[in-house]
Structure 1
Amino acid sequence: MVERFTGPLSGLAQKIIRQFWPGPLTLIFKIKEGSLPEAVTGGLKTAAFRMPANQVTRDLIAAVGNPLVGPSANSSGKPSPTTAQHVFHDLEGRIAGIVDDGPTQLGVESTILDLSVETPTVLRPGGVSVEELEAFLGQEIISDKHKVGQKETPKAPGMKYKHYAPSAQVLMVKTGDWPEALAWAQTRSKAVAILADQNIITIPGLQVYDLGSDVVAASHALFAGLRHFDQDPKIKYILAQTYSQDGLGAAYMNRLNKSAGEQYFSKTLNLD
C-alpha cells in the first residue's frame, strides 16, 4: 500500500518495516509527484506512513482498502488524546464518530523516522527509542532537535516550539528542586497542581496526579494528567516530574518539554 505512493522501497526501508511494523514507528518517505493531494502533504514532497499495532485499526484500513489519513484527534496544540473520552471532549460536534478500542497502550505517540534524507533522522522520539533503532541498524541515527516556526510547515507532527500544552503553565521540576517547588506550591495550593509520582510527592492539600513509579508508567499517564488538570480553570501552574532522556525517557521529556515551552521551575522565575 505504501509503495502505491512512494514507488519501490529501499532495502533499508524494508528492513526497518519488517522489524518494527506494526508498531509505534512512523516513517517519512519521498512520494511520487501527484500521488497524494496537498491537503495530505501540506505541500511537501514527502508523507509520513505508519502501520498501527492496534488490530481494530488495521481491520478498518483493510476494509477501506486505502490508507486512513487524518490529523491528531485533538484541538491543535493541546495534549494528545489517549482515550475516546479525550477525543469526544475536543471534537464533539465536529466529527461523525469515534472508533473506541480502549485507552492507548503506550501513551506517547510514535517515533517519527525520516527516511527521505541521506542519513535516517528521528524527528520525534516515541515508542521506539533511538537506541533501539541504532542497535538494529548498526549505524548512527541523527536525532533532529529542530523546531519549526509558526509559519513553517512541519515535516512531522509535534515539532512546533510549544505543543501538547494545557491552559495552565507547565513547569518542569528537576529532582533536586522539588523541596523548593513544593514549598512554593503550598503557598498557592489552589492554583498549583502536581504531576508526579504520588509516592514521592505526599503533601496534604496539594492536587496530585499520579504518574506511576517509572518512566514507562509516566509516559502512559502524561497526557491524561495534563488533560485532568486542564478541566480546572483555577489551576494556573502544573509542576511536572522530569526523567533522564534515555530510552523512552527521550519521548517523555520531548512531550513534557514542549508542553512547558521549555520552562523549568526556578526560584528566580517571576511567578504570581
Structure 2
Amino acid sequence: METKLFQAEELDQAAQILKHKGLVAFPTETVYGLGADALYPDSVKQVFEVKGRPSDNPLIVHVADFEMTRPYVEKYHPLTDRVVKTFWPGPLTLIFPIKKNTLASIVTGGLSTAAFRMPDNKKTLELIRKVGDPLVGPSANTSGKPSPTTAAHVFHDLNGKIAGILDDGATKIGVESTVLDMSGEVPTILRPGAITKEMLEAALGVEVLLDQHLVIESETPKAPGMKYKHYSPDTPVLMIQENQWQPAMDWAKTENKRVGILAGPAIAEKYRSQDRYIFDDDTVEAAARGLYSGLRALDEAGQIDLIFAQIIEEDSLGAAYMNRLKKAASQKYFSEK
C-alpha cells in the first residue's frame, strides 16, 4: 500500500478514503491521530491492527462540533455546556455515558461510556465535516511508542500500512489532550494535558478531581494513556532529578554507557560531548512540544544505551509533561544507590 501525504487542497480525497473504510492520519493541536470512521467497526478494527494496540483500549471519538455528539450521548453532565463553550475546540476530551447500540464496543472498549473531543485544527475539522461521521483518532504511531507530532513521525511508523496522512506541519502542544470524565457527579481528570485542573475549576466553579490511578496491563482503562508504561522508545529512559545530572553522567561513564540527553538549553549545553536533543528553550511549553520528538530522535539514532531526561515541576502543563515522561521511563529515576 502506498501512503500518500495529503495537503489542504486534497481534503476531498482524504475524506473519500475514510468514507470507503480506509485509514487516514490527521493533525490536531496535540499529536497526530490515526483516523477511521467511528461508525464502521471494520475500519476501527484496522486501527488496532495497524497500531498493534490492545483492543480493550477505548478510543477518542473526534467531532466537528458539539451537536455531533448528541446521537450517542445518553446523559450530559449539568456543567457540559459551560465546559464546551470554554474549551472546545481545544485539547480537552470529555467522557459521557452513551446510548446503547450507538457506538460499537471496539470503539468504547466495551464500556458504557465514550470519550469525545473537538480538535483545534481547521483542516481536521473540515475533514470530519466532509466525511459526515465522527472519526476515531488514537495517536498515529506504533502502540506504546512516543506519539507523533509531525507527519514525518507518522510516515516513519505507518508507511505502507495506511492510505494517507493529512499534513499540517508540527503540532502546537505536543502532548495529548486532557481527559475529563463527566460521566459521574464530580468531574474528574483521568489524563492531564494542556487544559489544567486549575483552568477547569476556574471555568466550572467547582472542584475537579485528579485520578492518578495507573492501569496495569490486565485492566481495562476508561481513557487512553492510563497504562503504567506507555509512550516508550526502545532505548531505556531514566528521569534525572535537578541535582543528579553530574552524578548520573559520572555513573554512565563508569558503567561505559552511551547516553543521550533530553533537556532544555540550561542543562543540555553543559554536556556538549553527548548526543543531545535540546528543547527550543527552558519553558514548560517547549518541553511539552519537544518530548516525543526528542525521544524519537535519540532512539532512532541508534547510538546510545540510555536516555537521560529532564524532569520539571508537576504543575500546569508540567503535570502533563511528567505524566508522559514517567510512563516513557516506566516510572524510573536515576539513583546513586
After TM superposition, the score normalised by the length of structure 1 is 0.94
Displacement, 1:151? 2.2
Aligned to 1:114: 181
What number of residue pairs does the alignment pair up?
A: 268
Structure-2 change in CA distance of 1:207 and 1:189 (3 Å):
farther
Residues 190 and 234 of structure 1 are in contact (CA less than 8 Å); yes or no, is this contact kept in structure 2?
no
Q: What code does the residue aligned with 1:52 have?
A: P
Residues 189 and 205 of structure 1 are in contact (CA less than 8 Å); yes or no, is this contact kept in structure 2?
no
Aligned to 2:334: 265
Aligned to 2:204: 137
Aligned to 2:55: none
Higher alpha-carbon deviation: 203-212 or 21-30: 203-212
Aligned to 2:9: none
Aligned to 2:271: 203
Aligned to 1:29: 96
Residues 91 and 193 of structure 2 are in contact (CA less than 8 Å); yes or no, is this contact kept in structure 1?
yes
Q: Does 1:176 pair with 2:246?
A: no
Q: What code does the residue aligned with 1:62 have?
A: R
Structure-2 change in CA distance of 1:216 and 1:4 (3 Å):
same
Aligned to 2:156: 89
Q: Distance in 2 between matches of 1:214 and 1:188?
A: 32
SS of the residue corresponding to residue 136 of structure 1 reads helix
Displacement, 1:188? 6.0
Displacement, 1:187? 4.6
Of 149, 160, 166 in structure 1, the residue corresponding to residue 216 of structure 2 is 149
Aligned to 2:283: 214
Q: Distance in 2 between matches of 1:213 and 1:203?
A: 16
After TM superposition, the score normalised by the length of structure 2 is 0.77
Q: Distance in 1 between matches of 2:139 and 2:325?
A: 17
* 1:86-106 CA distance string (max 9 Å, x none): 111111111110001111110
Displacement, 1:185? 3.6
Of 11, 14, 35 in structure 1, the residue corresponding to residue 78 of structure 2 is 11
Structure-2 change in CA distance of 1:199 and 1:10 (3 Å):
closer
Q: CA RMSD in A?
A: 1.4
Q: Which runs of 5+ in 1 are unaligned?
A: none
Q: What code does the residue aligned with 1:158 have?
A: G
Residues 74 and 97 of structure 2 are in contact (CA less than 8 Å); yes or no, is this contact kept in structure 1?
no
Q: Distance in 2 between matches of 1:11 and 1:266?
A: 47
Q: Does 1:237 pair with 2:303?
A: no
Residues 263 and 277 of structure 2 are in contact (CA less than 8 Å); yes or no, is this contact kept in structure 1?
yes
* 1:79-138 CA distance string (max 9 Å, x none): 010000111111111111000111111001100000012211100000101111111112
Q: What code does the residue aligned with 2:288 have?
A: S
Q: Distance in 2 between matches of 1:10 and 1:139?
A: 13
* 1:198-237 CA distance string (max 9 Å, x none): 3333223211110221111000000000000111333221
Q: Distance in 1 between matches of 2:240 and 2:186?
A: 34
Alignment of 1:36-115 (within 5 A): 36-115=103-182
SS of the residue corresponding to residue 229 of structure 2 reads coil
Structure-2 change in CA distance of 1:189 and 1:229 (3 Å):
farther
